[in-house]
Amino acid sequence: MSEEYFAIVVSDLHLGEEDSIFMDLEGQFQPKVAEKIKNLIASKTDPQKLKYLILAGDAMDLSLASRPQAFKAFRGFLEKFYDLFETLIYIPGNHDHHIWIALQEEALIFSRIRQGKPAKEYYHALSPTITDCGLIHFPGSRKVSTPYGLKTFLYKLLPEQAEDDGKGFLVAYPNIYLDSGQKVLITHGHFLEEAWTIFTDALPKSLGLSLLTYKLLEQINSPFIEFGWYHIGQAGKLSKLVEDLWDELHAGRYGKMDGVADEIAEYLDRRLEFRPRNKKSFLAFLRETLTGRLKEAGSDILIYQVLIPALKRLIMAQISPESPQTPGSSLRHSADIITDPRKKERVRRYVEIAANGHERFPVDTLVFGHTHVPFEKGKLTINTLQGAKEIKCCNTGGWVADLLEAEHLSLSRPLIFGVKCDGTVEAIDIPWPSYSDFEKLIEEITDETKLKEKIKDLIWRKL
């Protein structure tokens, strides 16, 4: 039976990255997979009512995949899903955050300079509100081209007839608000994690943050997001080295990590090489010698006994669902985001910015991704100006198969959410292999590359 959804929400496609369900292990987009998913959505929606396809972050993976690979895959995705929307709404996440930076540079700096106008400051946040099942309202007096996005480079990724068809391509960040009966807040979710709010968390007094807004979250923390999840991913041989280290940690091996540690230690030893200069005083010579030797020895202690163990512990807590979650570790692969007190508090704070802050949007339902662990019936109590309020929380899961562990593969799966005109948010279930299906493959196949191929094939056939 087709449902009358006016918006569909998906997230964490990670197009371009080899672990994405939409890609093969050679990094090539698989149009047949996209076609299956498009047809599944089309079979459960009324095409006359559907207006918006909302990509809630990490649609393209610009941190782990090459830019040509990611944009090529995204173009293929748009071609397949073209008939499902009047307007595509793109909310960048941490893996495709640079899209937001690039659009602001284009609109506020480069295009203005070409027109002989002065450059403007970034606006950092742009969170439109959709009312009455389709009317888009922008904050302030900001003007946006129509069809939406027509003047941006992203619009050229749509099929050639897009402008004639009146298709829109709207980029919002970090949220989109749906105000049709129930109030729905849609975001990617990286700001729910400590790793992406490090400066606003650590320096609230020094920065004078008496009232935190989404604009401040982005303005202050985005340079770190750009460095960690864009520039490192586009750094040639350094990017390949980082990816190899990441894959090594996934597999529980540390050969290359130990080699990198040795090289860093040798570099520090050269930089700290001691040559005593005071030859007049024996005591001064002895003191300089002792201090210098301690500094040289300290570099090895720092690398091998402090930094490397800490790095392994931190990263393994992020990428392994069986590792104990440290207070500052990633939400990735964690299902306890709205039950663990510390993590729940971060989600509450983010939603309360909308409910009580500059945005003043009394949220009823939160939809986000990022964690790659889906759920549709989560509950969270927030504090509003009118008192305590319970909201519904929905997570979209993710479209990647990156941890070769049966429990993770069966739990870490995608969900698609449909939004009705009254603000009701419902899950559109995606066919997915069971725990026993994955476990059988893992027990039978020991070669990692072969296993990845078979897991992808299993998921594709199930779709």
> Which CATH number fits the domain that encloses residue 221?
3.60.21
Residues 314 and 335 in one domain: no
Residue 85 within any structural domain of the chain: yes
Instruction: Quote the CA–CA distance of 229 and 34 in Å, as a whole number.
Output: 25
| Total-model pTM | 0.88
Residues 314 and 391 in one domain: no
Residues 305 and 272 in one domain: yes
Residues 20 and 85 in one domain: yes
Looking at 294, 319, 344, the residue that finishes a domain is: 319
With CA atoms as reference, report the closest residue to 71 among 130, 126, 16.
Answer: 16
Residues whose CB is less than 8 angstroms from the CB of residue 167 and which lie 6 or more positions away in sequence, other chains included: 82, 85, 86, 87, 88, 147, 158
Greatest alpha-carbon pair distance for the chain in Å reads 93
Residue 173 within any structural domain of the chain: yes
Beta strands in 104-261, from DSSP E residues, in sequence order: 129-131, 135-137, 168-171, 175-180, 182-187
Instruction: Quote the CA–CA distance of 435 and 409 in Å, as a whole number.
Output: 7
Residues 313 and 350 in one domain: no
Residues 273 and 337 in one domain: no
Q: What does the CA dihedral 11, 222, 149, 7 come to, rounded to 10 degrees? A: 30
What is the C-alpha R_g of the chain? 24
Residues whose CB is less than 8 angstroms from the CB of residue 153 and which lie 6 or more positions away in sequence, other chains included: 102, 106
What does the block give as tokens for 378? 């989560």
What does the block give as tokens for 328? 């500052």
Range of the domain at 106: 5-228+331-462
Residue 300 within any structural domain of the chain: yes
Residues 381 and 244 in one domain: no
pLDDT of 325 reads 38
Residue 324 within any structural domain of the chain: no
Residue 197 within any structural domain of the chain: yes
Contact criterion met (CB below 8 Å) for 23 and 29: yes
Contact criterion met (CB below 8 Å) for 348 and 391: no
What does the block give as tokens for 350? 């983010």
Instruction: Quote the CA–CA distance of 154 and 114 in Å, as a whole number.
Output: 19
pLDDT of 327 reads 34
pLDDT of 268 reads 65
pLDDT of 7 reads 96
What does the block give as tokens for 249? 């940690």
Instruction: Quote the CA–CA distance of 295 and 280 in Å, as a whole number.
Output: 22
pLDDT of 252 reads 66
pLDDT of 244 reads 81
pLDDT of 260 reads 78
Looking at 319, 341, 360, the residue that finishes a domain is: 319
Residues 160 and 276 in one domain: no
3-state helix vs strand vs coil in the chain, percent to 5: 45, 15, 40
What does the block give as tokens for 415? 């969900």
236 conformational bin, left if phi > 0, alpha if psi -120 to 50, beta if neither: left
pLDDT single digits (tens) 202-233? 999 999 998 899 999 999 999 888 887 788 87
Contact criterion met (CB below 8 Å) for 102 and 62: no
Residue 48, judged by CB atoms within 10 A of its CB (0-12, 13-18, 19+), counts as: exposed
Domains of the chain: total: 2
Residue 459, judged by CB atoms within 10 A of its CB (0-12, 13-18, 19+), counts as: buried
Would you write out the chain's pLDDT as a tens digit for each of its 463 residues? 578 999 999 999 999 999 999 999 999 999 999 999 999 999 999 888 899 999 999 999 998 888 999 999 999 999 999 999 999 999 999 999 999 999 999 999 999 999 999 999 998 999 999 998 889 999 877 778 889 999 999 999 999 999 999 999 999 999 999 998 899 999 999 999 888 898 999 999 999 998 899 999 999 999 888 887 788 878 888 888 877 877 776 666 667 777 777 777 677 666 655 555 555 565 555 555 555 554 555 555 555 555 556 555 555 554 444 444 333 334 555 667 888 888 889 999 999 999 887 678 899 999 999 999 999 989 999 988 889 999 999 999 999 998 788 988 998 899 999 999 999 999 998 999 999 999 999 999 999 889 999 999 999 999 9
Looking at 299, 319, 339, the residue that finishes a domain is: 319
Q: At what angle do helices 448-462 and 31-43 cross, to 10 degrees?
A: 30
Instruction: Quote the CA–CA distance of 60 and 16 in Å, as a whole number.
Output: 7
Residue 120 within any structural domain of the chain: yes
Residues 291 and 343 in one domain: no
AA identity, residue 130: I
Segment (H or E) for 34: helix 31-43
What does the block give as tokens for 7? 């918006």
Residues 372 and 392 in one domain: yes
Residues 338 and 208 in one domain: yes
| Cβ neighbours of 251 (radius 10 Å) | 9
Partners of 389 in beta bridges = 382
AA identity, residue 192: L
Residue 31 within any structural domain of the chain: yes
Residues 223 and 358 in one domain: yes
Contact criterion met (CB below 8 Å) for 413 and 430: yes
pLDDT of 334 reads 63
What does the block give as tokens for 289? 């010698």
Residue 326 within any structural domain of the chain: no
